[in-house]
Amino acid sequence: MKFGTVAIIGRSNVGKSTLLNRLLGEKIAIVSEKPQTTRTRILGVAHVQGAQIAFLDTPGLHKPEHLLNRRMVRTAVETLEEADLLYMLMDATSLPGPGDLVAVKHMKEALAKRPRPVILVVTKIDLVNKIKLLPVIESYTKLFPWTEVVPVSAQADDNIDRLLAVTVPYLEEGDGAYGEDVVTDQTMRTLAAEMIREKILQATEQEVPYSVAVEIDEFVEEGKLTRIRATILVERETQKGILIGKQGGRLKSISTQARQDMERLFGMKVFLEVWVKVKEAWREDEQALVELGY
């Protein structure tokens, strides 16, 4: 038996959470086309032939402008420092940019403290034709002497089995740290809050996605029904208006979509009640951030 922890790192939006979900075959991390979707570290345990791999999804490495973002980057850096093996993700649809260089800088600092193998994972290859792909991979290859280079598409499930096969030899001999039925450390409450946030990220633009947090006020299982009451925090009255929409239409659609996701994942009927509350500058408020799990 082999076991190890693998940090999934990279700049925002490269596809870290999509890859985590694909590696597990289950959706435990929310995904959106907006950067800075993931705010915490998310454990996903893969039980594969002869090995247990604890994948750690992380917030994207970016230039932080709020206390929330500084804490997100700190979470990513801590995970980078702790994991046994690193996946550095880079996006096949672009050439190396400033965001990738920042990620490499963080990675090098962590490796200077404790050297470890790093697998370069070039993501989203379904979006690039084969002829253009090679020069892109080559430009990423030049950034660092990577231990391995694996191009994948998490969305199209392309080369994910190869990524797993390449990973296993770098794990240490040893029993898994988690029970056979453990998939994640995310509680049902957290998953519920995140599903609501995902629908908000998909339905809103500009500052709104970044100014939103979701709190679960009530989560009770009553036989086959789960009753969930959630509060969406925004920073300004105008954002509250946007989120609620004309005659409550936007909030209703967000809440319906989130409820359907919850029913699918939890395998039971959900009664979901959602409120919107203004909490000015919560992103700068240490205590609020701790309470929200950030």
Ligand X SMILES: Nc1nc2c(ncn2[C@@H]2O[C@H](COP(=O)(O)OP(=O)(O)OP(=O)(O)O)[C@@H](O)[C@H]2O)c(=O)[nH]1
Residue burial 148-180, b: 16+ Cβ < 10 Å; e: rest: bebbbbbbeeebbeebbebbeebbeeeebebee
CB of 103 to ligand X, least distance (A): 10
One-letter amino acid at 97 equals G
Does the footprint of Mg ion cover residue 123 (CB under 5 A)?
no
Residue nearest to ligand X (CB): 60
Stretch that binds ligand X, among 13-21, 94-102, 166-174, 269-277 (CB under 6 A): 13-21
Look at strands 85-91 and 42-48 and give their pairing. unpaired
In this complex, which beta carbon is closest to ligand X, that of residue 204 or of residue 226? Answer: 204
Shortest separation between residue 126's beta carbon and ligand X, angstroms: 5
Rounded CA separation 72/170 (Å):
28
The token duo for 103 is 């990620």
Q: By CB under 5 A, is residue 17 in contact with Mg ion? A: yes
- What values do phi and psi take at 292, rounded to 5? -80, -5
Question: What is the smallest separation between the CB atom of 238 and ligand X, expressed in angstroms?
Answer: 24
Q: Which two tokens stand for residue 268?
A: 């039971």
> Which span (120-128, 193-201, 216-224, 257-265) binds ligand X, by CB under 6 A?
120-128
Q: Rank residues 4 and 59 by Cβ distance to ligand X and give the closer one.
A: 59
* Interaction partner, residue 13 (ligand X, Mg ion, none; CB < 5-8 Å by kind): ligand X
CA distance 129 to 38: 29
Residues in region 24-53 near ligand X by CB under 6 A: 31-33, 35-38
Q: Is 17 in the site for ligand X (CB under 6 A)?
A: yes
Stretch 168-187 residues interacting with ligand X (CB under 6 A): none
Q: Which is nearer to ligand X, 27 or 259 (CB)?
A: 27
Q: What is the CA radius of gyration of the chain?
A: 20
Stretch that binds ligand X, among 48-56, 123-131, 225-233, 248-256 (CB under 6 A): 123-131
Cβ atoms within 10 Å, residue 203: 17
Residue 17 C-beta: closest distance to Mg ion, Å? 3
Strand order in the sheet with 269-278: 213-222, 225-234, 269-278
Binding partner of residue 4 among Mg ion, ligand X, none, CB cut-off 5 to 8 Å per kind:
none
Structure tokens at 269: 């009927």
| Nearest-angstrom CA–CA distance, 140 and 130 | 16
Residue nearer to ligand X on the CB measure, 1 or 101: 101
Query: Could you tell me which residues are beta bridge partners of residue 11?
Result: 61
Contacting residues toward ligand X, per CB under 6 A? 12-18, 31-33, 35-38, 59-60, 123-124, 126-127, 153-155
